[in-house]
Structure 1
Amino acid sequence: MADAELRQRKAAGPASDDTRPRSSEPEPKPKSRRRLDDDDEYSPWVDILRVLSFLLVASCGLSYVISGGESLFWGMKDKPQYLRAGWWKSQFSGPIYLTEKELLAYDGSDAEKPLYLAINGTIYDVSSNRRMYGPGGSYNVFTGHDAARGFVTGCFGEDRTADLRGLEEMFLPVDDPEVDKYFTTAEMEKMREEELAAAREKAHGALQHWVKFFANSAEKETEEGA
């Protein structure tokens, strides 16, 4: 009887610590002092330095490849067009479109506006040479106009126009009745056709000379602006 009471007392007693449920997850270990010190000493400047170093090496390598071994720092004498700032500017700006009346506003009378002139329908910016094309300059007569005819004839005052009709006549040889009388009518007609074709070719060549001149000047300014 005494043994039964003793067993009941033991069963009714409070549960010991050993009977508590234990978590299956291990308790996190405290960080070591060395690990804490490493976290405190971290600095983003190291990563920034690594990125900058990589960009520098990549830039040098790319420069070496593009320049054909000429330079590591983009110091090429003749840069490709796509490496020139002026070229990109011209690509995005595109050609200039103005009517003849609108073009007059760019003759240099307004110092705040650029200087434009046109030849054969193409407008060029000549603002970089204001001494020559600006007010008082020797070529200011062409500024603000399409003076294609005047560039060919050299008559700055009278031929300041884009009308090229009959321009070939200035390249035709002068008729000489004393010489013409030795040719038949058919021969004279054939000769005049040949002379007219040659005169038109000369007029076209003279015009193209100035077209190429301004086109090359614009390209040169684009390269220098790089």
Structure 2
Amino acid sequence: MTDSELRHRKAQADKPVDAAPKKRRAIDADDDDEKYSPWVDILRVLSFLIAASFGLSYVVTGGSSWTWGGVQLPEYMKADWWKEQLRGPVYFTPEELAAYDGQDPDKPVYLAINGTVYDVSNGRHIYGPGGSYSFFAGADASRAYVTGCFAEDITPDMRGVEVMYLPLDDPERDAHWTPAELERMKAEELETARKKAHEALEHWVKFFANSKKYKRVGYVTREDGWLEKLPRRELCAAAQKGRPKRKIPKN
């Protein structure tokens, strides 16, 4: 390489570097920052939430609605359900339960069946004072649900209720069976009667347990041996009157 070529390259190397491209890149970056808007991300999030709501509505309603139209939300999606889970059940003595009979308008209306307490405030017009079922409020009236004797059987004592399903003894009719046959038949009748009494109470237990209108709030607590301390109740007149007669076997 000649001396002239070396001097030319050295002169080129000694020239100051043009900083303009770097400045332009910096200016372009500033322009990009000024153009950025958080609303783009907000719109993306909102779009996702709306789409998710449509999808969840479709699943919960079984494909009948995309917009939660006319849907009854599952219990676990309601605030009251979570409050109940966090609070846990409330226990009432019979005396404490009696304070929720609807007489105080500032208190909810409670009733109990088979020891479980329900808030029936949504039906205050029938369970509250003057309502057709006001005798159920503030008490566990399990027996009355089965016997239908609302005035006499406001009690959880179910002993002897099965008698209402037992056929009446009638010497004239009973003469159609031998003593051994009659004894065997009465044992079967008693077993059937107990089953019917259980099913009759269970019907109402399930009615309140599955109700969307009335909510479980707790349980009735009683002292040990409370049932044995109560006198045995006679079957009320209306239930006694409805007892069937044995059917005479056909020859």
Q: TM-score w.r.t. structure 1 length?
A: 0.71
Match of 2:170 in 1: 176
Cα distance, 1:201 vs structure 2 = 1.8
1:5-84 equivalent positions in 2, closer than 5 A: 29-30=22-23, 32-64=26-58, 69-75=63-69, 77=71, 82-83=76-77
Partner of 1:198: 192
Segment of structure 1 superposing worse, 170-179 or 128-137: 170-179
Cα deviation, residue 53, structure 1:
2.3
105, 116, 121: which one pairs with 2:110?
116
Work out whether residues 142 and 155 of structure 2, in 8 Å CA contact, stay in contact via their aligned partners in 1: yes
Q: Indicate conservation of the 8 Å contact 1:70/1:76, yes or no.
A: no
Query: Which residue in the other structure is 1:12 paired with?
Result: none
SS of residue in 1 equivalent to 2:23: coil
Q: Which residue does 2:11 correspond to in 1?
A: none
Aligned residue pair count: 195
SS at match of 2:155: coil
Which protein has the bigger helix share? 1
Deviations 1:132-155 (CA, angstroms, capped at 9, x unpaired): 000111111111111011111111
Q: 1:177 to 1:158 in 2, by over 3 A?
A: same
Alignment of 1:121-140 (within 5 A): 121-140=115-134
| CA spacing shift, 1:144–1:181, aligned 2, 3 Å | same
1:193–1:136: structure 2 CA closer, same or farther, 3 Å change rule? same
Name the CA shift for 1:175/1:127 in 2 (closer, same or farther; >3 Å).
same
Q: Which sections of structure 1, spanning at least 5 residues, go unmatched?
A: 1-25
> In the TM superposition, what whole-angstrom CA distance separates every residue of 1:62-99 from its partner, at most 9, and x where no partner exists?
54456565443344756655556665566556555322
Q: Which runs of 5+ in 2 are unaligned?
A: 1-18, 216-251
Instruction: Report the Cα distance in structure 2 between the residues aligned to 1:142 and 1:69, rounded to whole angstroms.
Output: 40
Identical residues among aligned pairs (%)? 62
Higher relative contact order (CA 8 A, sep 6+): 2
Q: Partners in 2 of 1:113 and 1:161 — Cα distance? A: 22
Q: Distance in 1 between matches of 2:118 and 2:71?
A: 27
What's the TM-score, normalizing by structure 2? 0.65
Distance 2:177 2:64 in 1: 67
Q: Which amino acid aligns with 2:204?
A: W
1:16 maps to none
Is 1:214 aligned with 2:208? yes
Provide, for residues 75-125 of structure 1, a one-character-per-residue CA deviation record: whole Å limited to 9, x for no partner: 475665555666556655655532222211111122121111111112121
Deviation at 1:188, TM superposition (A): 2.5
Q: Rg larger in 1 or in 2?
A: 1
SS in 2 for 1:146: coil
